[in-house]
Amino acid sequence: LDRKMSEIAKIELGGKKYELPVVEGTEQEKGIDIGKFRGATGGYITLDSGFKNTGSCQSAITYLDGENGILRYRGYPIEQLADKASFLEVSFLLIYGELPTQAELASFQESITNHTLVHEDMKQFFEAYPAKAHPMGIMASMVCSLSTFYPESLDPNRTPEAKDLTIQRLIAKLPTLAAWSYKNAMRH
């Protein structure tokens, strides 16, 4: 959901009336913005067991309608992306908003390939984890550890090109980090 509309939802509690803005999503679905509801009402909250009627965030990337089995990324049905697009094409779509042209995909693939190597010092981190550590916990820690090898990636004011490089490094290194995490859990 991303656009506020002129439409208003009204709720009456204890004789007081509250107005809540209606927002419209990327597929013209409507929602009620309850972000300020608790503060405005002095503590009332909403209840939606199972979160079946709750949007967790505003997203220009994902549209989800679980009741009707619909999942779209940037307007493309997940089935179409799974059948017709590669992992890197979908990654490009999610990051940049459009599927890549052949030239863009070639450049993106080359950058990913050029950044797959993981620094050998990272192995020392893996060796320090307990034998029973869950691979996902190890993986998450290793992703955080990458910033120690690329401290420039922590600069929030870096150029868009530098941000792209950070994204591409992460995509490139994740398969190796995942394999190492699993291997560590198996103690190989």
Average pLDDT, the chain: 90
Q: Say what angle helices 160-186 and 102-114 make with each other, to 10 degrees.
A: 50
**pLDDT(1) > 50:** no
Average pLDDT over residues 30-51: 90
Average pLDDT over residues 170-181: 93
**pLDDT(163) > 50:** yes
What CA–CA distance (Å, rounded) separates 6 from 22? Answer: 7
Dihedral-angle region of residue 88 (phi above 0 means left; psi in -120 to 50 means alpha; beta otherwise): alpha
The whole-number pLDDT of residue 42 equals 92
Residue 178's closest CA among 131, 122, 130? 122
